[in-house]
Amino acid sequence: NPGPDALLIDNGTTENVRRLDKNLTAFTGFIGINNHMGSAFTADRTAVTQVVQDLKTRGLWFLDSKTDARSVAARVADEIGLLY
């Protein structure tokens, strides 16, 4: 159980964007985010693309734990010019 407000493939884009915003506005002082328990999420191009685009807009970077060789996060981040 990843806990409340986790980004999940089954949530859909609108809900994940809402959760990402809620999570990011709860803290200050960070420069990026990292996936944790997110192997299925980082392997889903649609889910990753929305998060990466939002992070780029905010000037943040993404650290992929690479817990799954199927992760597309680095490829997507590179395509849109996000630090990863």
* pLDDT confidence of residue 80: 96
Cβ pair 39, 64 in contact under 8 A? no
pLDDT in tens, 5-63: 999 999 999 999 999 999 999 999 999 999 888 789 999 999 999 999 999 999 999 99
Predicted TM-score (pTM) of this structure: 0.88
Residue 59, helix vs strand vs coil: coil
Helix H or strand E encompassing 47: helix 45-58
Q: What is the pLDDT of residue 54?
A: 95
In angstroms, what is the C-alpha Rg of the chain?
Answer: 12
57 DSSP 8-state letter = H
